[in-house]
Structure 1
Amino acid sequence: MTVYALKHPDGRWLYHLPKPEAFGTPGFGSTAKVTGVFADGQPMEQLHADWWATDHEAGRLAATAQPPAKTTGYRLTDSSAESVRYPATLTLEEWAERSDREGDALWQLYTNVREDQPALEHVYDGPVMVLEGREPPRPDEPQWVAQLPHMLTQRPEYRHLFPGHIPGLRKHLYEVIKAMPGVKYCFDGYQGKVGLHITVEVPFDQPVTRWQADISRRTSKPLKSGRTSKPLKSGRTSKPLKSGRTVRVYVSRSLDLPVPADVLADTYEQALQEWDWQIAFWLSVVTDAKVVACSACHGTGHVSEGSEKHSTSR
């Protein structure tokens, strides 16, 4: 089996060392637990997705594992229950012969007799192919969808070096932008348009306020002949209330950003650079849109009052 390696810029050597078939396949019977992976006898650092790191170019790569204990027979849980029909021990062959007939009755009387197994070692003795490029993406980084020939789609060792794309750019920006201060709305695919539709609310450079009437509360009217107010249906008595309050005025601005769904590139490393640039760019557009509004023009960009004094027409 070919072993794939990457020489990291920090001087480490990264090796792709999948779990050997001799250690067992999860979901298909008992599997041995990997106890260590070694480069020239020195323990290696586990990274992710079967990648292991060492501080030098390795001459011998090996993995060790401990198989689970093996069942060698069965014995009575309670020795006082021994009889001709239920002997003190049963061999594997005797158990297999009787279990079809007696089923759960045997499990109620007997328990497994297990025997520890010797440790296993596997030496990766195949040729080593050194790949050029960065390490594969970590689980906490944007993931990579490679455009590979079908026969190579199951090769995680080097698919990040092929053309492909990082999915989820627009989805990621949607989550980030909607949490930004000053963003009132953020929609993906608003009214059928591709991209993000964003509404921001910004204050004026000189605070502008207005009086807002309070229509949610009832005010009382003077009662004739000195009578007291009648209780409302809720049991409360009506009384004079404030009629409103002063609120700050904001300007709403809408943005339609054609953010792509994915980032395409020839390699994962190139796409990751583009991913970071795109995020910084689109966030800067939203940030720039949140600049305070001009009080003189009421946020419209032009002053209507007195404009005739500056007309150039004759």
Structure 2
Amino acid sequence: MTVYALHHPDGRWLYCLPDPKQEQSSPLRGATHLATLADGQPMTHLRRDWWATDHQAEQITARYQPAPKTTCWRLTDMTAVSTRFPATLTVEEFNNREGSYGDQYYELYERVCEEQRPIEYVYDGPYMVLEGREPPAPDEPMWVAELPFVLAERPEYLHLFPGHIPGLRALLMARFKTLPHVQHVFDNFQNEPGVYVSLRVPYDPPRTRWQAATGARGQKLKRGHTVPVLASRSLNLPIPYRVTGPDYETALADWKQSIEFWTGIVREASVKACGACDGTGYVADGSETYDRAK
């Protein structure tokens, strides 16, 4: 199997080491992983198949402890020894009898095991060095690489090819709903492309009005209370559904910048309305006036 390596900007070397237990007819199936070593030095497990070391490795090995080997089966109650139930059974004899008598033999016999020596697996070199950062972590945005199907099956280097990070618009819509004074957030509201955001903000200085209480039959009562007067604002933001880039690292930087930019636009729109100009001092004619290049 091919081993891929990345030289991290912090000086570490990262290696993608597929699990050899997944190989067909692997003698390591059922074995316990003990350690992964780069030139005899322990490596640090990052996530999935990725491991790190402080130098460029010449040889990478992994040590496994096989499960104990069953050598025979022994009768638990020696007073019950008979022709039908001998003191010991070979593995083949036990399997034959267990097949004929069901679970009865599991109740009468115990397994006699022999510990096995650890196995060393060698990842054959040379190791293919890739240029770029490590693959996305589970808590980072996912990457959809634009590659032929046969190449897209290789998770080791998908993030180094052109592609896109999906879900920008959905993420921002969910975030907008948590911001102060945001009333509604809609996608393509009334067939207008973009994200529609409506806000209800208070005045500065505060304004209030009298609101009569409502009776059981819906009639207005003489009693009531004052409520704040709010100004209405709306935005239509041309947020893309995804962020594209020549590789994951470039797109991720643009992704973070986009989140910060669009969140800032909505935060800015949530400022209190100016009482001197009746709230008209805020330009609320939509995000088509915004240009990230400014």
Q: Same fold (TM over 0.5)?
A: yes
Quick one: distance in 2 between partners of 1:46 and 1:193? 48
Q: 1:263 aligns with which of 243, 247, 267?
A: 243
Question: Partner amino acid for 1:18?
Answer: P
Quick one: distance in 2 between partners of 1:127 and 1:29? 23
The CA deviation string for residues 52-90 of structure 1, in whole angstroms up to 9 with x for no partner, is 111111122111111222233322333333332122222
Q: Which residue of 2 aligns with 1:288?
A: 268
Q: Which residue of 2 aligns with 1:199?
A: 198
Residues 1-314 of structure 1 correspond to what in structure 2 (within 5 A)?
A: 1-21=1-21, 30-191=29-190, 193-216=192-215, 243-300=223-280
Question: Partner amino acid for 1:204?
Answer: Y
Q: Secondary structure at the match of 2:263?
A: helix
Q: Secondary structure at the match of 1:58?
A: coil
CA pair 301-11 structure 1, distance change in 2 beyond 3 A: closer
Taking only aligned residues, the RMSD between alpha carbons, in angstroms, comes to 2.6
Structure 2 residues without counterparts, runs of 5 or longer = 283-294
Quick one: distance in 2 between partners of 1:110 and 1:189? 70
C-alpha contact (below 8 Å) 1:25/1:31 kept by paired residues: no
CA pair 22-153 structure 1, distance change in 2 beyond 3 A: closer
Quick one: distance in 1 between partners of 2:76 and 2:190? 71
C-alpha contact (below 8 Å) 2:212/2:222 kept by paired residues: no
C-alpha contact (below 8 Å) 1:23/1:32 kept by paired residues: no
Quick one: distance in 2 between partners of 1:17 and 1:146? 21
How many residues align? The count is: 279
TM-score by length of 2: 0.86
TM-score by length of 1: 0.80
Q: Secondary structure at the match of 2:4?
A: strand
Segment drifting more, 241-250 vs 154-163: 241-250
Quick one: distance in 2 between partners of 1:140 and 1:278? 18
Quick one: distance in 2 between partners of 1:35 and 1:216? 74
Question: Partner amino acid for 2:271?
Answer: V
Quick one: distance in 2 between partners of 1:19 and 1:110? 35
C-alpha contact (below 8 Å) 2:28/2:64 kept by paired residues: no
Judging by fraction of residues, say which structure has more strand: 2
The CA deviation string for residues 219-268 of structure 1, in whole angstroms up to 9 with x for no partner, is xxxxxxxxxxxxxxxxxxxxxx9811111111121222222222111100
- How far is 1:30 from its partner? 3.9
Percent of aligned pairs sharing the same letter: 54
Q: Which residue of 1 aligns with 2:292?
A: none
C-alpha contact (below 8 Å) 2:59/2:125 kept by paired residues: no
Quick one: distance in 2 between partners of 1:252 and 1:278? 25
Quick one: distance in 2 between partners of 1:204 and 1:266? 46
CA pair 298-15 structure 1, distance change in 2 beyond 3 A: same
Question: Partner amino acid for 1:5?
Answer: A
Quick one: distance in 1 between partners of 2:199 and 2:134? 40
- How far is 1:140 from its partner? 1.5
CA pair 95-54 structure 1, distance change in 2 beyond 3 A: same
- How far is 1:37 from its partner? 0.9
Question: Partner amino acid for 1:152?
Answer: L
Question: Partner amino acid for 1:4?
Answer: Y
- How far is 1:14 from its partner? 1.1
- How far is 1:105 from its partner? 1.8
Quick one: distance in 2 between partners of 1:20 and 1:243? 78
Quick one: distance in 2 between partners of 1:14 and 1:295? 59
Q: Secondary structure at the match of 2:271?
A: coil
C-alpha contact (below 8 Å) 1:24/1:32 kept by paired residues: no
- How far is 1:11 from its partner? 1.1
Q: Secondary structure at the match of 1:243?
A: strand
C-alpha contact (below 8 Å) 1:23/1:31 kept by paired residues: no
Q: Secondary structure at the match of 1:204?
A: strand
Q: Which aligned segments of 4 or more residues in structure 1 are displaced greater than 6 angstroms?
A: 22-26
C-alpha contact (below 8 Å) 1:23/1:67 kept by paired residues: no
Quick one: distance in 2 between partners of 1:216 and 1:48? 62
